Structure 1
Amino acid sequence: MQVTFLGTNGWYDSATGNTVSALISARDFDIILDAGNGIAKVDQYLTQEKPVFLFLSHFHLDHTEGLHVLVKFRFKKGLTICGGAGTRTNLAGLLREPYTVPLEEVPFPTTVTELAEGATELPFRVTCLPLVHPVPCMGYRFEIDGKVVTYCTDTGVCDNAVTLARDADLLITECGLKPGEKSPLWPHMNPEDAIGVAHRAGAKRLALMHFGAEVYKTMEERRALKVQFEKDCPGLVVSEDGMTIEV
């Protein structure tokens, strides 16, 4: 199994990357995590031989603005879009004229699935729980191909993130803040927070993404995190657009 980081910025595109999106390439399925502008590159990594699932954490635009490019894709095995309660209504508001092509008019079959909190058996098991954010935001735990990959972005430290990441082979989490910084009114995590969640959960490996574009203005600032925190978190991944890792 591979994970490819398509967009690793939070809030807006910059010289450091596109807004947030990632791809889990499993044996029988391709799973896209969020639809920031990075999703426009996903067709470079798809075989078109597997069904595609897109999981939306929430509807802030840096996680959904890439939805307007869905019409350029040709998902031959179809696309299933998954999210929490209200996903159908929110998608109908975003994907419509005069803004973009409506979902029912894209050139491949689509299904929208609203997930309840807890575990759901799709063709693979996914568990979703709410995170701490100013708007409803879901974290996901995927159990597939004998591996566990957890995705928690746009959140402060919370017990649900730890629960989702329990013994995960890979925890992908946000790093919107610089080391030592806090944002109590707009919950996000700094590297120490993310490492703390990984340690509490017993996650085997941690990958940081969703770097605040206004906070991490250069790649050097991001890459310095690996040097600073590698000792505390062996195998730490500081993601960049286009990076692929094995799970």
Structure 2
Amino acid sequence: MQVTFLGTNGWFDTLAGNTVSVLVQSEEYDIIFDAGNGIAKADQYISQKKPVCLFLSHFHIDHIAGLHTLCKFRLKKGLTIYGQPGSAELLDRFVAEPFTVPIKDLPFSTKVQELSAGEHHLPFTITCLPLVHPAPCFGYRLETDGKVVTFCTDTGVCDNAVTLARDADLFITECGLLSGEESPDWPHLNPENAIGIARKARAKRLALTHFGAEVYKTREERLALQEHFSAECPGLIAATDGLQLNV
């Protein structure tokens, strides 16, 4: 299984990266988490030989802005977009005229499927649970090919993040805040929070993404963070756009 970080910024694009999107390539599916502007690069990696599944965490613009680029793709095996209850209605309004090409007019088969909180078999296993955020937001636990990959962004510290990340081979979560910072009115994680969740969950490896674009302004700042916390969290990854990992 290969994981590619297509976009690693939160809020807005900078020279350090695009807004958040992660591609997980399993044996039978190309699976994408979130559709920030980084998703426009997915066609550099997907094979066109497998169905594509897109899981949306929530509808803040930095997680869906890249949906307007779907019309450039030619997905021969089609696309299924998964999200929380209410996703179909919202996407019908957002991925539509006058903003962009409507979902029904995309040049490949596309459907939207809403998921309730809990475990689903699609046929791979996906578990979605609500996170702590000002807007309703799902975290996801993917189980396929004998591996577990967890994706949790945006969130504050919460039990559901720990549950989703339990014994994960790779736990992907956010780092919206600087070390030591807190944001109780707009929940996000600092690196210590993320490491704490990973430890409590006994996740095998932690990858940080969704870096606050206004506070992590360069790739070098992210790599410095990785180096600073590497002793505390062995194998820590501060993701940058284009980074690929084998899980």
**TM-score, normalization: structure 2?**
0.99
1:172 aligns with 2:138: no
| Aligned residue in 1 for 2:203 | 203
Deviation at residue 218 of structure 1 after TM alignment: 1.4
1:70 aligns with 2:70: yes
Alignment of 1:99-178 (within 5 A): 99-178=99-178
Other structure's SS at 2:154 match: coil
Distance in 1 (CA, whole Å) between partners of 2:218 and 2:107 is: 38
Distance in 1 (CA, whole Å) between partners of 2:218 and 2:56 is: 27
User: Aligned partner of 2:210: which letter?
Assistant: H
Please, which runs of 5 or more residues in structure 2 have no aligned partner?
none
Distance in 1 (CA, whole Å) between partners of 2:40 and 2:128 is: 25
Deviation at residue 123 of structure 1 after TM alignment: 1.6
| Aligned residue in 1 for 2:225 | 225
| Aligned residue in 2 for 1:240 | 240
| Aligned residue in 2 for 1:88 | 88
Q: What is the root-mean-square deviation in Å for CA atoms of aligned residues?
A: 0.5
Deviation string for 1:94-144 (max 9, x for gaps)?
Answer: 011111010000000011110011000102000000000000000000000
Other structure's SS at 1:54 match: strand
User: Aligned partner of 2:244: which letter?
Assistant: T
| Aligned residue in 1 for 2:185 | 185
Other structure's SS at 1:232 match: coil
Other structure's SS at 2:111 match: strand
User: Aligned partner of 1:226: which letter?
Assistant: Q
Deviation string for 1:50-100 (max 9, x for gaps)?
Answer: 000000000000000000010000110000000111100110110111110
Distance in 1 (CA, whole Å) between partners of 2:99 and 2:153 is: 27
Please, which runs of 5 or more residues in structure 1 have no aligned partner?
none
Deviation string for 1:147-193 (max 9, x for gaps)?
Answer: 00000001000000000000000000000001000001000000000
Other structure's SS at 1:5 match: strand
Deviation at residue 219 of structure 1 after TM alignment: 1.4
| Aligned residue in 2 for 1:30 | 30
Distance in 1 (CA, whole Å) between partners of 2:155 and 2:80 is: 25
Deviation at residue 220 of structure 1 after TM alignment: 1.5
1:54 aligns with 2:83: no
| Aligned residue in 2 for 1:3 | 3
Deviation at residue 221 of structure 1 after TM alignment: 1.1
Distance in 2 (CA, whole Å) between partners of 1:140 and 1:199 is: 18
User: Aligned partner of 2:199: which letter?
Assistant: H
Distance in 1 (CA, whole Å) between partners of 2:134 and 2:232 is: 30
The count of aligned residue pairs is 247
Other structure's SS at 1:200 match: helix
Distance in 2 (CA, whole Å) between partners of 1:85 and 1:26 is: 26
User: Aligned partner of 1:130: which letter?
Assistant: P
1:44 aligns with 2:44: yes
Deviation at residue 25 of structure 1 after TM alignment: 0.6
